[in-house]
Chains A and B, each alone.
Chain A
Amino acid sequence: MTEAPERYVGGGVPRKEDPALVTGEAKWTDNIKLPDMVYVAFLRSPLAHAKITHLDVSAALEQPGVVAAFTGEDLAGEWGPEGGEAERGPGYALLPEEERPEVPETEVIEESPAGEESAQAETFSFCVWPVTEGGLPVTEDMKTPTHWPVARGEVNFMGEAVAVVVATDRYKAQDALEFIEVDYEPLDVVVDMESALEENSPLVHEDIGTNVCYSLGLENGDVDDAFNRADVTVKERYIQPRLIPNAIEPRAVVANRDPEHGEYVLYSATQVPHIAKFVLSLSVGIPEQQLRVVAPDVGGGFGSKLNVYAEEAIALALTRRLGVPVKWNEDRSENYQATIHGRGQIQDIELAATNEGKILGMRVKLLADMGGYLQLLTPGIPVLGAFMYPGVYTFDAYSCEITGVFTNLTPTDAYRGAGRPEATYAIERIMDALARELNMDPTEVRRKNFYEPFDEPTDTPAGIQYDSMNMQAALDRVLELGDYEGLREEQRRRRENNEPVQLGIGFSTYTEICGIAPSQVNAQLGLGGGGWEYANVRFLPSGKVEVGTGTSPHGQGHETSWSQIAADALGITPDDIEVLHGDTAVVPLGRDTYGSRSLAVGGIAVHLACEKVIDKAKKIAAHMLEAAEDDIEFEGGQFSVVGSPDQNVTIQDVSQAAYLAGDLPEDMEPGLNENFTYDPPNFTFPFGAHVCVVEVDTETGKIELRAYYGVDDCGPVINPVIVDGQLHGGLAQGIAQALYEEAIYDEDGTLATASMVDYMIPGAPELPNYTLERTVTPSPSNPLGVKGVGEAGTIGSPPAVINAVVDALEPFGVKHIDMPASPMKVWKAIQNAQGRQAEAKEYDASLQDRAADVRQEGGDE
């Protein structure tokens, strides 16, 4: 008998992805060079809202190396399911200048030569809600502005593409932009959401007639009654600044048409090749079966590459038009303006509670900044958050009203956490406010409202069902880890001594919604696509295995983790497995990677496909061993007859027999090659307890992150090294939101933080080390019990950090600091609070008050 191989799930298997990445051999989109490839550059609007009154690209066409140049009108016939049908003469290819055809005039495109009806689309959007036939808007009142890939007539945010130049190299394309003539007539700009809702506000989209994109209400239980019965109520307003995701790899696109088969190939630095294939086929009019989308190695996404962008559609349209491969590289300033932003919400939240600290009800009113247009999931992000405001607390009455608001700013969409960090921040901040109101310890008020530990689906105030939870264990452990009593003791000492540097201890006890998504829920939300995931597991004739996954990793290490899952299920080693992904020709089905879904949906699909392989292999093994199938057991890569372990065959023996196919059970298909498309029955809900310890210099406002403790529970762990890495990175981004990052616009809608020089991405000196542990509470929703971990850190950490800062300043009467908590804001908060104390004024939580603070900060003080 051979020894059963080790199990790989749960082990810190070194990553398969690393060798190419540490040696510089990775395959980034920007590495792709094809014969005759031309380069695209965009002229982008410097104004947030304007009419284009004059646009002439002809001088750009005269510049060296320029192959073509187009306005939005020139390309108007390219968009929509019928796009590209209009006749427009021969493609240009790379011809010498004198042979180069004229760029078609706008008028020519609009009237097709035969005088037939124009194929030009009348509306256009990348948003998944209206893009699909049968798709429903998020709400019935939802408005979807037309969003041409290249602007036509009007621009609605700074950075919107206005014209396109194509040249033989990227420098020449960039040079030629200077020669485009463009005049704008500035329009009134909508920057602030509350002003946008005022009756006399200018409109982002005149034709829509309102700045309200949609409004959505959710109510469970009798909220008014809860507030009437309450001993105490607390009401807070929190601002979620806009954030710029900043994947270190900018976006990049290469589009090409296979000259032999006519198939279009789009290489794109995307998180979502499968979704992109479908949406782009409808957006550009390339039949889906003739479009292949490849996500090569992708350098981070954080939601910013969970989208389908104008530049992808334009690259396809241009390669169709010009007959040569087309490439576009985003530069960082474009990334800041034309790649989606995250967050951008104003949250009004109220809690009703008893004197004992038991929550009776919660009211939330959200304003959510959509930006100038709707990108893929823009209106859905706050809706995802709406389910999560009740957090880890059980109570009866909850209502949430969301108003999506158009502004003349870059469109928002999913940024790591996508709706859940906002919700978690609000509930975790107001729990501290409630604790202050009741003069209770913040851990005590939390405990009073935790769910009793459960491991079966349990109803929440938001009308969904959490899968499993044990908050008490996570909180107990994190308090031990951080020596909570010791910290409070030190805090008391510093307060008594009036030390200039005060200690703050901040909590966040969070849960999040992962494993996106049960397809039924997607359908209820009108989303034009299911939430399932696909896997293919196939033994090759040599006994090695290929695993195709519909997930599309960009740093998460799926090649390693999926190998571990398959290795255990098949009884082989990870080295004998190749995980394939990110190419719609290699893995035809998939729903890609976002929303901490990959493991809880895609990893499960891999596991279940492996089980199907084993089920079939067992039949073949029984045939080979001349035993009944019921008498065959599978262990450690070996099938044997129960009770006669010497009678055995390995899975490789079976796979070879399956491929030789000369002696298989009757009617059995040859091969060991199984697919599984897994549709999760529920979401998964990881949870955890975080403690942030800060030292705040009350004389300068400087915040020092002294320690960060986390006990996170994402269910059973496939690879602890990868899970810790996900947490580190997630915590870093959450801390960055709390302390450093904010996209700042001026009143004209000009992005002031438009480069890495001005937008504060934390480097190594700005971030702490983390002390992390885990509890393991399996999800009942899937056979591995796994939950997902990609966003946990980003969701859990911002309130822990801000609660810690506010806690440090409690002796000064400070009850609130806005994110990002810059030294200036901290210092001002101390001054203001002391001034208020002196005048015995109530703390005023109004936005106007704090907006004035922000303005002063940039101004004269």
Chain B
Amino acid sequence: MRRIQVRVNGDTYEHEVEPRLLLVHYLREVLNLTGTMVGCNTSNCGACTVLMDGESVKSCTVFAVQADGREITTVQGLAENGKWHPMQSAFHEMHALQCGYCTPGMIMASISLLKEKPNPSEEEIREGLEGNFCRCTGYENIIKAVQLAAQHMDHPTATS
């Protein structure tokens, strides 16, 4: 067992964990932050995507001990004072989700994408999200949502 200290969605946690415990299971089972999902265990589907120190990682292939001393943001940490992150609003507005199982990971990956490229082209969005599978939407509306969020985040005063 190893003691780790992790800051998750603004709160600091300390736990003794097995070295093999996956970050996604630490979030889900230990912290009860069930907004982050497991889809494939092989780092392909991206349902488990979270931000670690601002960078997107697939939490099913990160050990909890690797998050020691780091800052993790999950979909449950995006809203501020009950107000959704523009990416959450854009997914809702553009009908970019159906069953919603991939959505938390897709939203986190999209936020990470816009951090790297604030005004991506459609092709850049498609390439940027290649590590996140959605089986319901065919991606078209996800692309539109990321474009819409990019507009809103670029002009934070704009509302819709």
Contact = CB atoms under 8 A, between A and B. Distances in A.
Interface string B49-79: 0000000000000000000000000111011
Interface in A715-740: 721-722, 724-726, 728-733
B95 A725 contact: yes
Given A302-B135, A725-B98, A764 B79 contact: no
Contact of A18 (B38, B42, B97, B102): B97
A171 interface: yes
B112 interface: no
A728 B140 contact: yes
A690 to B, nearest CB: 14
B99 A23 contact: no
Contacts of A555: 98-100, 136
Contact of A23 (B37, B75, B140): B75
Contact of A332 (B39, B84, B100): B39
B118 interface: no
Given A17-B100, A250-B39, A763-B131, A28 B34 contact: yes
A331 B29 CA distance: 16
Contact of B42 (A15, A248, A250, A332): A332
A841 to B, nearest CB: 40
A838 interface: no
How big is chain A's contact interface, by range?
A: 35 or more
B98 A557 contact: yes
B130 interface: yes
A767 B139 contact: yes
A770 B135 contact: no
A255 B126 CA distance: 40
Nearest to B36: A24
Interface residues of B, number: 58
Given A22-B107, A299-B100, A763 B41 contact: no
Interface string A284-306: 00000000000001111010000
A91 interface: no
B31 interface: no
A211 interface: no
Interface string B92-116: 1101011111111001000000000
Contacts of A764: 125-127, 129-130, 132, 139, 142-143
Given A755-B42, A764-B143, A299 B37 contact: yes
Interface string A737-768: 00000000000000000011100010111010
B75 A30 contact: no
A21 interface: yes
Interface of B: 18, 20-21, 28-29, 32-42, 44-45, 47, 74-76, 78-79, 84, 88, 91-93, 95, 97-104, 107, 123, 125-127, 129-143
Which 7 A-B pairs give the minimum distances between C-beta atoms? Answer: A24-B35, A299-B101, A21-B100, A555-B99, A732-B138, A555-B98, A728-B138
Given A28-B101, A297-B99, A765-B123, 10 more contacts: A22-B84, A30-B34, A248-B45, A299-B37, A332-B41, A555-B98, A556-B98, A756-B44, A763-B129, A769-B140
18 contacts: A15-B92, A18-B92, A18-B97, A23-B84, A30-B34, A248-B134, A249-B101, A297-B99, A297-B100, A299-B37, A554-B99, A726-B98, A728-B138, A729-B135, A755-B42, A756-B133, A764-B126, A765-B127
